[in-house]
Structure 1
């Protein structure tokens, strides 16, 4: 496999977004990298693909900016370029929730790493003996491709529906440790903050999402594959694509792209 695919996000306060957009686009264009980058006042969200040398060169450039010096990526490989073009956009949010009070850049919800979650699921409870449930914050069609065994799924069709669903089902979570998860971490981070503010006491986000879990814990407690928003369509627990095909008809739209 010749193409390195990366997904990354960081909630961090950003200003002068149009200038940043132009600089990021130029840096990607000169390295022939394709994919989608979203920029907002709350941070950056990106899905990119190219030969590894180009990707690593771009990341070195981006991390020279102090705001992105600790940007972490999730990596996987493919035989072909999964994106048709390069899109760099400025948006109101890097993942739309339509709740302006939720500001992850000012403080994250507690996170649990992949190995700890596996240990909890092996035992059926957390370190305090409290029952553990996983909560899928992704869209229903993503869940249908694969999810954690017995995960809570409220069948939302877009992330903006999550707050209403949580308020309708909040009592079901009482007395449990809730671990929210998504593809790469961005949606479950916002979801965990919202749940804490809504009064759910014991909430964690899965650090790095499903992709990091696959990398560190494999297929344990997970049925199926992880949907991704590019031509690969889904990754198995070895982070290998279901199929290897040419570039997709388009990049994922900012409204549905999730990490």
Structure 2
């Protein structure tokens, strides 16, 4: 719930829909956001829209009313969280080929979604250890490895991918691992897991769901049940706890690694300059150079 101490409303939303006038709409989005002092990032693509915006309540409400006046986005679903300060430094409106790059253009969620499971139902499945058909439930994280390291569901399958374009091949290679099981794909807000679940259906997975609304909606409706840690987000907050509050996790400005509260106690952690991750790499390079010099 929003309080006077957290005046900024942070929204995350996306919708897969044919959007063939992105170039025409870009200046309109940019002008509206600048006029209403909104900051964040909006991606306009032929397959739909993806946005992360922040502003005061009346500014966000004005934007959503304006956006939903376009019938293509009248039913767009928005996830909200709150913060003490503006989490973004500027407004960016970008034209992209895909909402989230997967390099599988035949995946068109607008033409049919994979089945989804609501957060409350997923919690019930995880509580009982199986879905409503009695099949074991396996959680598959579709996010990048550094995001997973901040927090994920218990006993999740994590392939340590560096970028989402790696997911189609790795999930195809491991298809036999999921025989007789129900797979639930998940991500931060629902975009990646929606595309992932459709791809899995296309290659023959017979029982696959996407977590509706991703981790953020799960936190909003269920809290942290069956989840360990926080959820990485792509703004200054770095991560949100299951109660959707900014956590103490940080991100290193130098190497972009996620730095846990414990790692922040290290003398190698200098905000804006270094962290234990890049400091250890620098020492390894220096030691290698010293060893090479000694052998020369």
> TM-score normalised to the size of structure 1?
0.93
Runs of 4+, deviation exceeding 2 Å: none
- 5+ residue gaps, structure 2, are 1-5, 257-296
* 1:207 matched residue in structure 2: 212
Report how far residue 22 of structure 1 moved: 1.2
Q: Could you say which residue in structure 2 is the equivalent of 1:229?
A: 234
- Paired residue secondary structure (1:160): helix
Task: Name the structure 1 match of 2:7.
Answer: 2
Provide the residue aligned with 1:37 in structure 2: 42
Residue number in structure 1 paired with 2:75: 70
Give the distance between the partners of 1:124 and 1:18, measured in 2 at CA.
Answer: 48
- Cα distance in 1, alignment partners of residues 91 and 233 from structure 2: 17
What displacement does 1:7 show? 0.3
- SS of the equivalent of 1:172 reads helix
Q: For residue 137 of structure 1, what is the aligned residue in structure 2?
A: 142
Say which structure, 1 or 2, has more relative contact order (CA 8 Å, 6+ apart).
Answer: 1
Output one character per residue of 1:59-112: Cα deviation in whole Å (capped at 9) or x when no partner.
001000000000111100111111111100110001000001111111111100
Distance 2:188 2:72 in 1: 23
Does 2:101 match 1:99?
no
Gaps of 5+ in 1: 253-259
Question: Which residue matches 1:167?
Answer: 172
The answer on whether the counterparts of 1:79 and 1:244 sit within 8 Å (CA) in structure 2 is: no
| Contact 2:238 2:249 (8 Å CA) reproduced | no
Q: Of the candidates 220, 225, 243, which is equivalent to residue 225 of structure 2?
A: 220
RMSD: 1.6
Counterpart CA distance in 2 for 1:71 and 1:19 is: 20
Q: Distance in 2 between matches of 1:215 and 1:187?
A: 19
Q: Distance in 2 between matches of 1:230 and 1:166?
A: 29
Take 1:238 and 1:184, find their aligned partners in 2: how far apart are those partners? 15
Greater Rg by CA: 2
Distance 2:148 2:63 in 1: 32
In the other structure, the counterpart of 1:158 is 163
Match of 1:255?
A: none
Quote the Cα distance in structure 2 between the aligned partners of 1:38 and 1:234. Answer: 21
Distance 2:41 2:207 in 1: 34
Contact in 2 for aligned 1:118/1:220 (Cα 8 Å)? yes
Query: Size of the alignment, in residue pairs?
Result: 248
Residue in structure 1 matched with residue 19 of structure 2 by the alignment: 14
- The question of whether the paired residues in 1 share the 8 Å contact of 2:139 and 2:185 is answered with yes
Matches within 5 A, 1:105-144: 105-144=110-149
